[in-house]
Structure 1
Amino acid sequence: MSENKEIEKLTGYHREAAKMAAFTSVVKQPDCSQLTEERLKALLDACDHSKSSYAEEAASEDLRELREKFEQSQKEHCEVLHKLQEQHDAEMRDQAKENRFNRVCNVIAILIAAASMFISLVK
Structure 2
Amino acid sequence: MDGQDPADIKMGNVDEEESSVVVHGTVILGIDPEGGEALLFKDLEVTNSKVKLIAYLAIDGNLNKSIELGELKENRGTVKIAIPLGTDTSPYNTVVLRDQKSKKKVAVIEL
Q: What TM-score, normalized to structure 2?
A: 0.16
Whose strand proportion is higher, 1 or 2? 2
Task: Select the structure of larger CA radius of gyration.
Answer: 1
Q: What TM-score, normalized to structure 1?
A: 0.15
